[in-house]
Structure formats: structure tokens, C-alpha cells
Amino acid sequence: MLHSTIANAMSEPMIYPHHLPLDFRIHLRKTSLDSQPLQGKLMACATEALQTAQLPPLKDFRDATESKYLDALIGISGGDVDKMCRIADASRSGLYKLLGKHGKRLKR
């Protein structure tokens, strides 16, 4: 859960509830009537997750995740740039920028 939350937050300076998985948000909403405020529950969950997990630096995690995503995207699309843009919901320039960042080249 923590890895997907960090990936969803990308470059934002804070993690907001909309970055959390839907089932987690639903669970928190159902239990928000307890005495502990929702923000306190989020902090308690985040603190526990950080204490129990050894996390890489965010930049390293993001770079590795992006690289794996691009590998899968290239494989699924067969290297077709238009198809890659549709699947990733990205512009051509944004896609090429990301490919360049990770040293990925498409076969011609």
C-alpha cells in the first residue's frame, strides 16, 4: 500500500487522502466516527508503515517504477508510440522525455 501511495503522489510535497488506495479510504471513512480524528489515523498508519518498512529514497523508487512501467508499456504496445501515448494517457513529448530520462530507445 505504501509503495502505491508514494507512486500516486509522484512529485507532490505531501501525501493527501486521494493518493491512498480506494479500499483504504473507504475503511478510514467508515471508522472516522471513532474518537481519533481522521488525520491522526492517517499519521498513525503512515508512521507504522515507515517504521516497519525499509524504503528506498523516493527518487530511486520513482525512477525504478517509471523504468519498469516504460518496459511494460513498450512490450504491450510493441513500441508503437501512438499506442503508448493512448495507454499511458501521455503526450508524445512527455513520453519521449520520460524515455530519454531512462535511456530507453524504441526500435524503428
At residue 61, the pLDDT reads 85
Same domain assignment for residues 21 and 42:
yes
In a domain? residue 107? no
Amino acid at 95: L
pLDDT given for residue 107 in this prediction: 77
Number of domains in the chain: 2
The whole-number pLDDT of residue 35 equals 46
Q: What does pLDDT average to in each consecutive run of 10 residues of the chain (108 residues)?
A: 62 68 65 54 68 75 90 92 94 94 86
Q: Are residues 63 and 90 in the same domain?
A: yes
Backbone angles phi, psi at 67, to 5 degrees: -60, -45
Q: Is residue 106 part of a domain?
A: no
44 and 67 in one domain? no
Q: Evaluate whether 2 touches 61 at the Cβ level (below 8 Å).
A: no
- Establish if 94 belongs to a structural domain: yes
**Are 48 and 90 members of one domain?**
no
Determine the Cα–Cα distance for residues 31 and 83; give it in Å rounded to an integer.
Answer: 42
In terms of phi and psi (left: phi > 0; alpha: psi -120 to 50; beta: otherwise), the region of 15 is beta
Q: Is residue 47 part of a domain?
A: yes
- CA distances to 5, 80, 88, 92 from 83, in Å: 27, 5, 9, 10
Regarding whether 64 and 31 lie in a shared domain, the answer is no
Evaluate whether residue 50 is within a structural domain.
yes
39 and 82 assigned to the same domain: no
What range defines the domain where residue 29 resides?
2-55
